[in-house]
Chain A
Amino acid sequence: MNKIKIIIRREYLTRVRKKSFLVMTILGPLLITSLWLVPFFLAQTSDSQSRIIVVDETGNKEPKTEPLFKNKLKSNEEAKIEYMEDIAKAQALLREGSCEAVLEIVSANDMPPIKSFWFFGDSEPSLSAQHDVENQLTALFKDHYLKYNCGVTEEDIAFINNPKVNFYSKNILTGKDSYKEIKTGLGAIAGFLIYFFIFIFGSQIIRSVSEEKMSRIVEVLVSSIKPVQLLLGKLIGVALVGLTQFMLWIVLTFAVIMGIQSAAPDLFSAPQKENITLNEQVISVDKVQQIDAAPTSQIIQGLFSINYGLIIVMFLFYFIAGYFLYASLYGAVGSLIDIDTDGQQFTLPITIPMILAIVCLPMVMNNPSGPVAFWLSIIPFTSPIIMMVRIPFGVPIWEVCLSMGLMLLAIWGSIWLAAKIYRTAILLYGKKITYKEIWKWLKYRN
């Protein structure tokens, strides 16, 4: 036991003292913050706005009337709407590239009695810009039809267009609000963190084990300490490095955000706007007025409604358990690597379940208690990521216990397996290793 401590200390100290650790510790929060700032800055710049020329010919039919859409289509972040009379001139502008698209609207004798043609040149406006114009056209036409053909008053039209019936969801057992979006976000962040942690530090384990093997120091080491102790010491040491790094990241990220906030408070208005749209789905109809007064209080309420104690405990469990499950196998892979053989063929089967978990993530977020979510959160190889997504929504206690129990069993199994492979493979050089060969090792007593 004492010797494992010596191994852990070396693994920890050599990594923490490396320059790359320092660099990653500083770059991490900057990267995280910039990931969050970049969309904001991109939204700020108006370079991406497409110039769209609308030629409204709906009034051209005899007898001439006022065109239906003239000056009614609105510009937005992506589309700058202009109006012209002459389609030939507009198309000429499009040909020479001074606008991105020309929309020609004509009346027809069909249903609907409006047809529009969308011309574009070398740089087609974005799909969302097209959709936006399309939606505006439809809405305007609908309003027009209601007003003039059905005799609906403008007030009624406004009322028909306005209401969106929202859910105000409440757990009937606990009386708590649902706050699905916040929970989804929280779960997804936790799941992704675990994924990154396993991925980054798992590959460190591979490299570290194979370096020890290739530098041949491993033979000296295993004459002083049992291979399984060496492997465990390494796994624990690297885990501590990872935890240290994450702690530093959290602290530093907060520091950076605080710094930016105090330096440029304006930057924070944008995400708040988004919060309001998020809120619209959370709020109940009877709280509409409240929302206008205090848009952020809902977020805060939502955040307060979550059982953080449980989430933190679960996060730590799956964070550490997931790491040990995968890292021990990565350790075994590392021991298979020789100067002329890389571990690629052995890494793949280990990585697949993790990728499966990430691929299924949206499905689970959509239906956190469905069969996919259930099974993936029970199976140990995907449970660290998937269970974390489910936890904020509340998971029956027996499912959590089953998942954790299976996880512990799987860790025991994977460390057993890894130790068997590791102790044979680290002293094996210049031999092509196949799965068949590995299968034989598992049966060796010592």
Chain B
Amino acid sequence: MDILTVNNVTKAYSNHKALDNVSLKVNEGEIFGLLGPNGAGKTTLIRMINQITAPDSGEILLYDHKIKASDITLIGYLPEERGLYKKMKVGEQAIYLAELKGLKPSVAQKKLKAWFEKFDISSWWDKKVEELSKGMQQKVQFITTVLHEPKLLIFDEPFSGFDPINTNLLKEEIIQLQANGATIIFSTHNMESVEEICDSIVLINKAEKILEGQVKDIKQRFKHNEYEVVTPADDYSMESLLPSGCQLIRSEINSELRTSILTIEKGRNAELLSRILTITDIISYRELLPSMNDIFIKTVKNYE
């Protein structure tokens, strides 16, 4: 079932188009990557889902109804540019933000205490936000985003400003949230994390959608039939072993291992492998899929 449907959404500002007829669907329970270069229109779309702005034309559906004001309690949003009231105490502020999302103060307090314990930050409760480091503030803000247990979570560059340890912690939390049934829209430039945690993606460039699908399908679509064969670095020529239709792209020897990258015509894998096995052993053999990073760059460049 789709938790979010964006239908032909267009939004224009005075001197440029922010979104041009963009449609997409987000499945319930998935981690959905919203990708695109800076200024592509991601933030505009996210703001529309949060009902901060409205589309000029087109519609946004949550489940099966047009998104409405009361739906904001079902959504949690962590903007790219984080911010809290600097002079306000951490606990008090977290309760305030939770109240705005419709939680009762007593409930919010209880949940917050649990989260603070989990993150081991209970001692921050009565500190002013300005006394915390930037990373600490981000943690607090993350908690306030997820506290009301929204069905749909929107994270805009959630890892920016976090050190590797905290990035990992956050990643685990995000995966945990997904396991608990939340759907997550994840907007980022960090393609490694996309590969790691996203189920499907949409790529937006210059206000238009230029690529969408499941991450694994997209990788299949962009593959070039490239394979990597690792063999012992004995004295033989890999090229001579190749059946017709195969091509060696490059080959390098490294600590007694020969790594060869080659393309193979469909259906000739068995032939190649048996030929190699007559001469030497095969240590590993795998298909090379393009990285999301390559796909991102290639798609955006092709588009231009």
Contact = CB atoms under 8 A, between A and B. Distances in A.
A216 B75 contact: no
Nearest to A445: B54
B96 interface: yes
A219 B81 contact: yes
B83 A216 contact: yes
Contacts of A222: 50, 52
Contacts of B218: none
Contacts of B96: 6, 10
Given A221-B100, A437-B14, A215 B86 contact: yes
B99 interface: yes
B50 A223 contact: yes
Interface in A392-446: 427, 437, 440, 445-446
B126 to A, nearest CB: 14
Interface residues of B, number: 28
A370 B67 CA distance: 57
Nearest to A216: B83
Nearest to A221: B100
B295 interface: no
B136 interface: no
B85 A215 contact: yes
Contacts of B14: 437, 440
Given A14-B88, A215-B85, A215-B86, A220 B52 contact: no
A218 B50 CA distance: 13
Given A223-B72, A427-B52, A446-B53, A216 B100 contact: no
Secondary structure of the B side of the interface? loop
Given A6-B99, A224-B100, A217 B52 contact: no
B206 interface: no
Interface in B26-54: 47, 50-54
Given A14-B88, A427-B47, A220 B79 contact: yes
A3 interface: yes
A437 B15 CA distance: 10
Contacts of A215: 83-86
A226 interface: yes
B223 interface: no
Contacts of A221: 100
Contacts of A251: none
Secondary structure of the A side of the interface? helix
B86 A223 contact: no
Contact of A216 (B69, B72, B79, B97): B79
A221 B72 CA distance: 11
Nearest to A13: B92
A427 B44 CA distance: 11
A243 interface: no
Contacts of B144: 220
A31 B83 CA distance: 38
B99 A217 contact: no
A192 B56 CA distance: 47
B153 to A, nearest CB: 12
A445 B84 CA distance: 29
A237 B83 CA distance: 22
Nearest to B84: A217
A224 B83 contact: no
A271 to B, nearest CB: 43
B13 to A, nearest CB: 8
Interface in B128-175: 141, 144
B77 A220 contact: yes
B209 interface: no
B275 interface: no
Contacts of B75: 223
A310 interface: no
Given A224-B72, A224-B100, A224-B101, A216 B81 contact: yes
Contacts of B51: 223
B216 interface: no
A139 interface: no
B212 to A, nearest CB: 25
Contacts of B52: 219, 222-223, 227, 427
Most-contacted residue by chain A among B52, B53, B72, B81 (CB, 10 A): B52
A270 interface: no
B113 interface: no
A227 B88 CA distance: 21
Given A10-B96, A446-B53, A223 B77 contact: yes
A446 B58 CA distance: 14
Contacts of A445: 54, 56
17 contacts: A3-B100, A14-B88, A215-B83, A215-B86, A216-B81, A219-B77, A219-B79, A219-B81, A220-B79, A220-B144, A221-B100, A222-B50, A224-B97, A224-B100, A224-B101, A225-B100, A440-B14
Given A3-B100, A437-B14, A445-B54, 13 more contacts: A14-B87, A212-B85, A215-B84, A216-B81, A216-B83, A217-B84, A220-B77, A223-B52, A223-B79, A224-B101, A225-B100, A427-B47, A446-B53
Which A-B residue pairs are the 4 nearest by beta carbons? A216-B83, A446-B54, A224-B100, A217-B83
